[in-house]
Amino acid sequence: MENIIYMSNEGVSTISINRPKAYNALDVQTLNELLETIKIIKENDDKMVILTGEGPAFSAGGDINMMTDITSADDFGEMMDVITELTLELYLLPKLVISAVNGSVAGLGLSLALNSDYIIAEEKAEFGVLFAGIGLIPDGGGHFHLEERLGNHKAKQFIWGMEKVKGEVAQNMGLADIVTNKRAVIEANHLTKRLKHAPLLAMIESKQLLHEAKKEKLLAYLEAEKQSQIKMAQTEDHKEGVRAFLSKEMPKFQSK
């Protein structure tokens, strides 16, 4: 694979998004490679998974340059179908998933990180939804995961506010579980070593029970996100958001 690094060692699978020059932005190729990797891991004997990013960021979210290449609703819908499958596979993965958040995590990257059982963040790590900045809504189950961690009202405020919060603030909000002054992936490996002495089978069984009970709710969110995102992608606000981002200007939204 070109954009995903995968290794398995001593009962732990590690997935690293490998587009550091693009801050690990998620284009179609990367999403498909990540989905393929998760399907491979699903069949191995490892009980834990670490998800992280190479370089200075966990993931900046969906690749903005990719969005300029997707011009039809059908193409956008196909991409959303990949995101839906990826989200479900990760949510229902019968293993403990640890996101090691280094640097920035935003947009679809944040949805990906939130779809884990533990989130370990470096003190400098910045969490942001930021979809609204390009006239879109959260996808990848972002609404579902933010509601789970923040509650409905605070989730709305965080989505709309387009703010970025760092390590300890993110932890106090409920977006991160552990904050470290070490590299997040080092702390994640320390956690896996501690968990090897825990009753992992029972822990995974509880995860499966809780997640299966909410599978239909997540599916409903994913389908609604797909339809809404296709609609938002056709708006003038989205086109203006992408233009302004690529030009490094402030967008001028007109609610059209």
Residue 207 lies in a domain: no
Whether 240 has a pLDDT exceeding 90, the answer reads no
Residue 241 lies in a domain: no
Total number of domains in the chain = 1
Residue 76 near residue 29, CB atoms below 8 Å: no
Nearest Cα residue to 62 out of 98, 90, 23, 97? 23
Cα–Cα distance, 29 to 77 (Å, whole number): 15
Q: Which two tokens stand for residue 138?
A: 């959260």
Q: In terms of residues, how long is the chain?
A: 256
Residue 131 lies in a domain: yes
Range of the domain at 85: 4-183
Task: Calculate mean pLDDT across residues 37-49.
Answer: 97
Per-residue burial over 208-226, b = 16 or more CB atoms within 10 Å of its CB, e = otherwise = eeeeeeeeeebbebbeebb
Tell me the per-residue pLDDT of 211-238, one tens digit each, with 9 for 90 and over.
999 999 999 999 999 999 989 988 998 8
This prediction has a pTM of: 0.94
What is the identity of the amino acid at 248?
Answer: K
Residue 200 lies in a domain: no
Angle at 83 between CA 250 and CA 214, to 5 degrees: 110
Angle at 11 between CA 95 and CA 174, to 5 degrees: 45
Whether 70 has a pLDDT exceeding 70, the answer reads no
Higher-pLDDT residue of 256, 158: 158
Secondary structure class of 53 (helix, strand, coil): strand
DSSP3 helix / strand / coil % (the chain, rounded to 5): 55, 20, 30
Residue 92 lies in a domain: yes
Which pLDDT does position 247 carry in this prediction?
85
Task: Calculate mean pLDDT across residues 67-86.
Answer: 82
SS (H, E, C) 212-254: HHCHHHHHHHHHHHHHHHHHHHCCHHHHHHHHHHHHCCCCCCC
CATH number at residue 154: 3.90.226.10
Residue 141 near residue 218, CB atoms below 8 Å: yes
Residue 211 lies in a domain: no
Residue 13 lies in a domain: yes
Nearest Cα residue to 26 out of 55, 75, 60? 60
Whether 252 has a pLDDT exceeding 70, the answer reads yes
Whether 75 has a pLDDT exceeding 80, the answer reads no
Cα–Cα distance, 26 to 62 (Å, whole number): 5
Task: Calculate mean pLDDT across residues 82-87.
Answer: 97
Q: Which residues contact 256 (CB under 8 A, 6 or more apart)?
A: 235, 236, 237
Residue 187 near residue 103, CB atoms below 8 Å: no
Residue 238 lies in a domain: no
Which pLDDT does position 174 carry in this prediction?
96
Tell me the per-residue pLDDT of 173-202, one tens digit each, with 9 for 90 and over.
999 999 999 999 999 999 999 999 999 999
